[in-house]
Structure 1
């Protein structure tokens, strides 16, 4: 029976080649989009699940409200991990990780260094908590001794070639020597942090014992069966027992008094597999993604697949009129409804299977492009992994049964006598369903068009909005510490080059970095309620003019004032939080020790206009600029038209003064734009799939318009004989479809407005969703629908009426 179904199905598909092509290609496009997004979503959801104990690993987050600022940090107090292990039997183990940033690394005795990013300190328990397989070395002993380091296979290849690195030493920044004790496999791409170097935590002589110092990412491994929510209640005891006494010593008030004054310190747990998508903390080891993107892309995949299925159902029901007599004959010859349903279902599933085959080809061809816009490393092989095979088998079967169900039951329910006598108007009977499906698919298309435009407008707003400084043509060298005592000399030499208008040495630049806030106090007032939590940046005399910042009042640092070593420049936010009405000349205290006993007095000499130094998702915080020209970043403002040639001249100066050290630079505008790469990727992905969704919708509309024109061929012939023009006939055939599209626009607009406003809520600085976006999206949808339908309408209107009326 099945063999007979297949033979008849293949014969019918070959007989209706145009219909078959539109259905298979449209369905294949929808399936390909669904598969690509499924690969993306599965990869996003797989982060950190490669750890064998992932379901029991939790990171401790810290949330502090202090000095007028809310801080949500992925780091926690230094003693937190050891204390939890000591005091609570529910904790099986812990590990702390401390990101140290970029170093210049070379094998001891070698001349040339390599720039290595994301160097991390870690406890010796690293390999007990995380699943990071070693190629060589002892996991229990690898990070026990100070001044030891575990490196990845890639790092071992870069620095030692084919030699065995165990026991050899690496020199970091020409200052720190570490002995290699183990080589680990490269970390998987689906980890929320990456590094090629884990240095023993004990290598640093700093005393990690302060409960008010948050320096580490602390991960705890809970024992089997421990409820993390109940365990989190112990943090209140930790605060009262350990944090409170240090806080009282620091500010002179109890933890309860701090809370009564509107401040707070809280700790919480986040499951390790949730960090990549659900953590919104600052001071992460690496940028995270957002679960909203997973929801968005999943919705887009479902939308496109539904549009493809709707096309399938629409075209199948539309073509039913041409097969009604076939059904009548089959019933007269003895076919029962079950057999007819089986026949039509077989055709539907066969087309879905062919569409899946074509979809896999499309995925293979487009995957490199998709990887490029999504910054992934996905391969077609992922689709043939055991967990994906059921999806590959079930998807075409499910789609085929779903898309073919209505046509199958609809056609098989005809009474043979009525059909053979032509008493059933099949087109009208299914017109209501087809209209509803057209409205639904264009509604989804309009939502995608609006979403794409809003995302791109927000990205454009971010890239063009005034950020409080001039980020264009500023070259930065973050590893200037490699110059040693020649940093200032290097800056002075480069400034002499034609095309370099200014230069500055500073600790921080107005781009995201692992920075933490520190308190400033009004002079003579140590009360915690008076503290202002601020970013405190060391800069030089040329910092403000080099970056093109603007002073609101007061003056910049100047060599003419010998006392500027105790001068301070605040931004507008800091002035507001301090409550200074006339800030110039006011004095503030800066704490120089962890105990809160040693303070230095600074005098406010200027107020700089607010500038963005974090993502526009966040409000501008308090910043204090202080004279400290011996920091590690050098910046130059360039005015040359030939930037590449000027960069080569700067590199030559670098090689003269830092031989053997790699010359690594970036431009400030690129670093600033990097904050929004996630949004840019979202925009590109949504745009790509919006175009594909509209393409699939148009394919269905094209086929449907062809069918409607065919059904009304004789009516068109009569109208032409009676004098109807081509334009009137095009209008006649187009108006029904355009009315459906207009209904879709009316339904889609409020849904799109709500959805995009919800997305924009994550930004502190954002656009308003303008009314014209909906008008433009609707116009685009109407135009696309009109062009699609008009092609078939014009073709039908130009047909010779003699041919259509010959049999009448």
Structure 2
């Protein structure tokens, strides 16, 4: 029986090649989109699950409200981990990570340094908490002594080639020697942090024991059976017991007074496997994903697949008149309804199996480009792994059953007497379900069009918004700290080059860079109501000028004023929190050591206009600039029209001064854009899948228009004989579809508005959703529908009426 079904199904598909092509290609594109998005979603959901103890690992996060700032940190005070392990038996182990950014690295004896990112200090318990297999070395001892380093397999190959790195010395940051004590496998890509170098925490030059400073990413491993929610309630006790006395000692206030002044300090736990998609804290070890995009793309995959299935159902029911007599004859010859259902379902499943084969080819072709857009390294092998293979096999069967169920039941329900008498009516207007399905298709297409327009407008707004400083033609040379006292010499040499307007050396830039927070108080006692928590940047005399910042009061730092070593420039946000009406000349102070024994007082000499130094998702916070010899990077403002030549000249100056150090640079506008790379990727992906969804919907509309024209051939012939024009016939055939598209636009507009309003909530600075966006999306949908339908309408309208009426 099954063999017979398959033979008939195959012959039917061959006989109706146009119908078969539209169905198979539409389903194939839908399935390919679904599989690509499924790979993306599964990759996002897999982060950190490679850890054997992932279900028991949690990160301690900090939420602090002080001095007008709400700060939500992924880091916590350095004593949190050891204290939890000491005081609470529920904690099996802890590990702290202290990210030190980018350093120059080489093996001792090698003439040239390499620039290495994500240099990380870690406790010796690193391998007790995380699953990071060592290829060489003892995980218990690898980081248990000072000046030891565990390197990744790829780093070992970069620095040592085929030689054994174990026991070999390496030079970090130009003057710090560490001995290789272990080689680990490269960290998986689906980890929320990455490092090729883990240095022993015992060698980190850090003032330990600071309960009021947040600089370490702290992870705890809870014992089996521990309720993390109940355990997190202990943090209030820890703050009172440990942070409270330190606050009283340093700033002379109790935690009760601290809270009465409107301030807050708290810790909470986030599961390791939730960090990548659910954490929106500041100072993450790497940019995270967003669960919203997982939900959005999962919905898009489902909708595209539904649109493809709708095409199948619409085309199958639209062709029912052509197969009605076949059903009638089969029933007269004794076929039962279940046999007819089985026949039609076999055709449906065979179509989806063929579509799946084509879809796999499309995925294989598209995956490299999709990986580039999504910044992933997914492979087709993931789909045929034992975990996903059952899903891959069942997908065409499930889709075939879902897409073919209604046509099978619809076609098999025809009564043979009615059919053979030719009385069955399956006109376009009589099938309400088919109209509803067309509305759904274009409703989802309009939602995707609106979403894509808004995403791209928001990205454009971010890239073109006045951020309060001039990032154009500013080049940043990284790793200037590696040349020590020669940093100023390098700056002066570059300034002599034609085309270089100005230059500055600083470790802090208004793009993703290091962060340094301090509490400042108005002159007098440490009054919680007169304090402000702000970022504190050490800069040089030329910083404000080089970055094109605008002073609204006072003056810039000047070498003509020796007192500027104790001068400070605040931004407008900091002045507002401090409450100064006339800030110039006022004094503020901060603690100058971790024990709160010494203070440093500054005189306000200038107020800089607010500028964005973090993502536009956040409001502008308080910021201070002070003179300091921080040589993290050198920034130069260029005016040359021939930038490539000037870049070579700057590199030549670097090589003269630091021949053993790598020359690394980036333009500031590119660094700024990197903060929104995720949104750019999402916009590109959204545009791609919106176009594909519209393509699939148009395929179905094209097929429907063809069958509608076929059914109304004689009507068109009669109308033409009676004098109807080609235009009136085109309008007659198109208006039914246009009505459905208009209904889809009306339904889609509020849905799209709500969805995109939710997405824009993540941005403190965002565009307005204007009416013309929906008008444009509607116009595009109508234009696409008209172009699709018009081809068949024009073809039918131009047909010779003699041919369609000669059998009458």
Asked whether the two chains share a fold, i.e. TM above 0.5, the reply is: yes
Residue correspondence of structure 1 range 385-396 to structure 2 within 5 A: 385-396=385-396
**Contact 2:428-2:708 within 8 A present in 1 as well:** no
**Contact 2:516-2:537 within 8 A present in 1 as well:** no
Aligned CA distance change for structure 1 residues 630 and 99 (closer, same or farther; 3 Å): closer
Q: Name the CA distance, whole Å, in 2 between partners of 1:35 and 1:199.
A: 41
Residue correspondence of structure 1 range 614-629 to structure 2 within 5 A: 614-629=614-629
1:384 alignment partner, SS class: coil
Q: Name the CA distance, whole Å, in 2 between partners of 1:14 and 1:673.
A: 52
2:382 alignment partner, SS class: helix
Deviation at 1:648? 0.7
Deviation at 1:452? 0.1
Deviation at 1:207? 3.2
Which residue of structure 1 aligns with residue 66 of structure 2? 66
Q: Name the CA distance, whole Å, in 2 between partners of 1:173 and 1:616.
A: 33
Deviations 1:675-694 (A, max 9, x none): 00000000000000000000
Deviation at 1:514? 3.5
Deviation at 1:192? 0.3
Residue correspondence of structure 1 range 46-125 to structure 2 within 5 A: 46-125=46-125
Q: Name the CA distance, whole Å, in 1 between partners of 2:388 and 2:524.
A: 66
Which residue of structure 2 aligns with residue 511 of structure 1? 511
1:763 alignment partner, SS class: coil
Deviation at 1:148? 0.2
Residue correspondence of structure 1 range 468-479 to structure 2 within 5 A: 468-479=468-479
Deviation at 1:428? 5.5
Q: Name the CA distance, whole Å, in 1 between partners of 2:221 and 2:503.
A: 48
> Unpaired segments of 5 or more residues in structure 2?
none
Q: Name the CA distance, whole Å, in 2 between partners of 1:388 and 1:774.
A: 39
Q: Name the CA distance, whole Å, in 2 between partners of 1:322 and 1:430.
A: 16
Q: In the alignment, does 2:493 pair up with 1:493?
A: yes
Which residue of structure 2 aligns with residue 187 of structure 1? 187
Which residue of structure 2 aligns with residue 712 of structure 1? 712
Q: In the alignment, does 2:676 pair up with 1:665?
A: no
Deviations 1:375-406 (A, max 9, x none): 00011111101111111111111111111111
Q: Name the CA distance, whole Å, in 2 between partners of 1:241 and 1:202.
A: 26
Q: Name the CA distance, whole Å, in 1 between partners of 2:593 and 2:462.
A: 39
Which residue of structure 2 aligns with residue 159 of structure 1? 159
2:606 alignment partner, SS class: strand
The aligned length equals 808
Which residue of structure 2 aligns with residue 755 of structure 1? 755
Q: Name the CA distance, whole Å, in 2 between partners of 1:667 and 1:31.
A: 41
Q: Name the CA distance, whole Å, in 1 between partners of 2:557 and 2:618.
A: 28
Deviations 1:65-95 (A, max 9, x none): 0111111001111111111111111111111
Which residue of structure 1 aligns with residue 745 of structure 2? 745
Q: TM-score normalised to the size of structure 2? A: 0.99
**Contact 1:478-1:632 within 8 A present in 2 as well:** yes
Q: Name the CA distance, whole Å, in 2 between partners of 1:574 and 1:236.
A: 29
**Contact 2:505-2:543 within 8 A present in 1 as well:** yes
**Contact 1:538-1:631 within 8 A present in 2 as well:** no
Deviations 1:200-219 (A, max 9, x none): 00012433211112111110
Which residue of structure 1 aligns with residue 326 of structure 2? 326
Q: In the alignment, does 2:207 pair up with 1:203?
A: no
Q: Name the CA distance, whole Å, in 1 between partners of 2:163 and 2:174.
A: 22
Aligned CA distance change for structure 1 residues 629 and 121 (closer, same or farther; 3 Å): closer
Cα RMSD after superposing both structures? 0.9
**Contact 2:532-2:574 within 8 A present in 1 as well:** yes
Deviation at 1:596? 2.1
2:26 alignment partner, SS class: helix
**Contact 1:9-1:343 within 8 A present in 2 as well:** yes
Q: In the alignment, does 2:387 pair up with 1:361?
A: no
**Contact 1:318-1:430 within 8 A present in 2 as well:** no
**Contact 2:207-2:594 within 8 A present in 1 as well:** no
Q: Name the CA distance, whole Å, in 1 between partners of 2:741 and 2:634.
A: 57
Residue correspondence of structure 1 range 519-668 to structure 2 within 5 A: 519-668=519-668
Q: Name the CA distance, whole Å, in 2 between partners of 1:174 and 1:785.
A: 65
1:362 alignment partner, SS class: helix
Aligned CA distance change for structure 1 residues 428 and 636 (closer, same or farther; 3 Å): closer
Which residue of structure 2 aligns with residue 213 of structure 1? 213
1:214 alignment partner, SS class: coil
Q: Name the CA distance, whole Å, in 2 between partners of 1:331 and 1:584.
A: 96
Deviations 1:181-201 (A, max 9, x none): 010000000000011000000
Deviation at 1:233? 0.7
2:118 alignment partner, SS class: strand
Which residue of structure 2 aligns with residue 786 of structure 1? 786
Q: Name the CA distance, whole Å, in 2 between partners of 1:295 and 1:648.
A: 47
Deviation at 1:248? 1.4
Deviation at 1:478? 2.4
2:724 alignment partner, SS class: coil
**Contact 1:512-1:614 within 8 A present in 2 as well:** yes
Which residue of structure 2 aligns with residue 307 of structure 1? 307
Aligned CA distance change for structure 1 residues 430 and 130 (closer, same or farther; 3 Å): farther
Deviation at 1:430? 5.5
Q: Name the CA distance, whole Å, in 2 between partners of 1:209 and 1:44.
A: 36
Q: Name the CA distance, whole Å, in 1 between partners of 2:285 and 2:430.
A: 57
Residue correspondence of structure 1 range 269-280 to structure 2 within 5 A: 269-280=269-280
Bigger drift between 609-618 and 427-436 goes to 427-436
Which residue of structure 1 aligns with residue 766 of structure 2? 766
Which residue of structure 1 aligns with residue 33 of structure 2? 33
Deviations 1:17-50 (A, max 9, x none): 0000000000000000000000000000000000
Deviations 1:573-632 (A, max 9, x none): 011111111111111112201122211111111110000010000000011111114432
Q: Name the CA distance, whole Å, in 2 between partners of 1:6 and 1:526.
A: 85
> Unpaired segments of 5 or more residues in structure 1?
none
Aligned CA distance change for structure 1 residues 480 and 793 (closer, same or farther; 3 Å): same
1:610 alignment partner, SS class: coil
Deviation at 1:516? 3.6
Deviations 1:722-773 (A, max 9, x none): 1111111000000000010000000000000011011000100000001100
Bigger drift between 111-120 and 424-433 goes to 424-433
Q: TM-score normalised to the size of structure 1? A: 0.99
2:675 alignment partner, SS class: helix
Which residue of structure 2 aligns with residue 432 of structure 1? 432
Q: Name the CA distance, whole Å, in 2 between partners of 1:127 and 1:192.
A: 16
Q: In the alignment, does 2:463 pair up with 1:463?
A: yes
**Contact 2:507-2:514 within 8 A present in 1 as well:** no
Which residue of structure 1 aligns with residue 379 of structure 2? 379
2:772 alignment partner, SS class: helix
**Contact 1:166-1:182 within 8 A present in 2 as well:** yes
Residue correspondence of structure 1 range 7-46 to structure 2 within 5 A: 7-46=7-46
Q: Name the CA distance, whole Å, in 2 between partners of 1:54 and 1:582.
A: 54
